[in-house]
Structure 1
């Protein structure tokens, strides 16, 4: 996907430090940032922010953080956060999801969301998939013992790969859906991609998993 350059994006983000945090700021007190001890849920690859904003508005008792690597994308999420009147339980990190262990302390997170991640279809790029064992180890390190990973995709091959990858890593698959929208859960918040693909009649695959103790 070709990203549109937005040279004004960084300056705009710097104008909203109450929403956007840059990964080199090395935050070590997320409870202080949010001003409470509520659970923390993180979306890795938050895109334009529709999902994480919807979740934050629907669940004010949970703190949400959306991580996005590209300025031209996260700035769209910031615009939506501003339109939503900046929910106090929501922050955005301009950073790389591969650096989770630098962004959060061990056992600090309660849940990680992976929504419509890049499938990296070529075999030689498998290590870049967000459900590769290398990433699973990072999630395990920052999640609490009962923390979960929730994963959604429209890509069946990536979903199958993820099922195998998580199983081989020793994870427990709690929920698996091969067509999420066939029986739409009342609490399902759709991403922009989810709306697009489901409108075309494509099935949405979803799973919930956690690590063996």
Structure 2
């Protein structure tokens, strides 16, 4: 039997409103937590040292690669990355390249003009170029710590991470895999 006391209905109304508001707040908090676990929550520096918020790439499919200029894989990887840019950039693929000198000193060029001159000399239009970073170990860049959170450390130059439009890692590919082998997965994510 329901109470005829008007205070009872007032208490029920307050309780329902409190539950609804708490539910909405928890939903927003959950969305914020999801955001923090995407690459879009990160800021990196471009090759000239300017900060770039990765949220600028939100809604795009991303291929993140640690590059090196003097690796035995360099020329075939550059060619493959350029082919992906030419084929998919207009459809929403962006390639984010992070020079790294951790593997046999194979990226000796300094950031900025020296790196850009190297890429021009090689005719390598491979996407966006960021500052040289470490991709493994204690001093690994926070972006790479996030990328490798559930996987082993980066083993060599040209390890590739394909990231979906929501900023989540879709797949990791080894250094020796040529970029053309990613076409099916890129197509799937671009649809």
TM range (shorter): 0.3 to 0.5
Higher helix share: 2
Q: Larger Cα Rg: Structure 1 or Structure 2? A: 2
Provide the TM-score with structure 2 as the length reference: 0.38
Provide the TM-score with structure 1 as the length reference: 0.34
Higher strand share: 1
